[in-house]
Structure 1
């Protein structure tokens, strides 16, 4: 276990947690937080594990914690970037098999956690049949839940999502007998947003990424146009509640200037 994972067990740590919570006005908590957990493989390598699967399992366990932190401070929507389309194409086949199994278990676990509604988003048709089945079951089982909305981005790519949204709009317009000229004249950003995988949800107010990386990696490209970003040096499995609360406190202190 890394030194960072061992931190935060004593009373002084809990006092600091409570102090951070007092510094966050409830009205300034972001409605939608998106998380890009990164560094699972580096974490496993640094600890001497012979397989990246150890890091991915630790990262999945951390995501369960992260979602509880979000729920506890009043976040309404949380989105996790778990598997990109690029991952499906480029990852080693053995690592990908392990990762897909871990993601399926995580999704199932989250469907039994509190009253969360769990929604997979992405090109699920690209996934193995068994994972598709698990994700469909999870979505069905939690569809009526009224707690925090949890998006699991799996087989996801932001550019592909925008393409799929435009295709959906074109198909819908064609079924109604409209012309291309009418579509071109009527197309709006709001219309595209409605046809995204996250249609009807608020855009992310805050995007967090671990491991010190500072890039979007094709995650929620459309939705994050006005998001605030917060980058954490900790590797994914080493993320602590204080890191999360500092991100929320930082967000609450920012003067958001949309379009400026």
Structure 2
């Protein structure tokens, strides 16, 4: 049975509550880097009675534009969006994958014209259809000089593959400099691996958010999230509200981060 749209979030009392939450956030306590795992798009489409998951993916993409604005407005500096994993490329049926690729390309193009945002593709471009790889590269080139919110689009992404690629890059660089494998083995550090990840040079995510109530990492930013805080939202991706986001940020600001201790 289709679920009716909620009117929550459209009234003046809701806006007053949103504004109060914003005012109470201390800018210096806001996470620098937020990673978002938007989940539940297909379930959302099914619950509303749509015959195609594309409706859910399109609604999820629209929500991600809202999410980026919310992050920008409270002072977040970097946002990573998990849009398409390497597993998705192998396991999704061809029709759904084709729709999803088209939606991601549209999103990347639109984000490259938003505010002063810088868009960066993180993932394996060689695994993607040429047209999608081209759109992502164009969005990255177009926004390279921007100084606003840094938006990572994880497309054709897998955390374990990223670590393998980083190690391969280190070995190739070391070999090019004439070093031996013994020397590399003795000198290799976590910091060195971090520099060669797709997100090299960026702060690791302080906060990882996942929608739809699922509580797993799904091969997303495995290395970078070693000391991240996690926040799970019950709402399906397209139903995420600004109040959900602000509560996640508020919860983050109250945590005592121990960084593994």
Shift of 1:2: 5.1
Counterpart of 2:27 in structure 1 is 26
Q: Secondary structure at the match of 1:223?
A: coil
* Alpha-carbon displacement from aligned partner over 1:23-80 (angstroms, at most 9, x marks no partner): 2111110000000000000000000000000000000000000000000000000000
Aligned residues: 260
Secondary structure of the corresponding residue to residue 63 of structure 2: helix
Inter-partner Cα distance in structure 1 for 2:131 and 2:48: 31
3-state SS in 2 of match to 1:163:
helix
**Aligned ranges for residues 33-52 of structure 1 at < 5 Å?**
33-52=34-53
Query: Hey, what's the Cα distance between the residues in 1 that align with 2:228 and 2:256?
Result: 12
The residue correspondences of 1:58-73 to structure 2 (distance < 5 A) are 58-73=59-74
Cα offset for 1:124?
A: 1.1
User: Residue 153 of structure 1 corresponds to which residue in structure 2?
Assistant: 154
Gap runs ≥5 in structure 1? none
1:8-157 matched pairs, under 5 angstroms: 8-157=9-158
Query: What is the RMSD of the two structures over their aligned residues, measured on CA atoms?
Result: 1.0
CA distance in 2, matches of 1:91, 1:118: 26
Give the superposition deviation at 1:18: 1.0
| Aligned equivalents of 2:17, 2:3: Cα separation in 1 | 21
Question: How many Å separate the matches in 2 of 1:229 and 1:2?
Answer: 28
TM (normalized to structure 2)?
A: 0.98
Q: Tell me, in whole angstroms, the C-alpha distance in 2 between the residues paired with 1:116 and 1:213.
A: 29
- Aligned equivalents of 2:140 and 2:126: distance in 1? 15
- Indicate yes or no: 2:182 matched with 1:200: no
- Residue 3 of structure 1 deviates from its aligned partner by 5.0
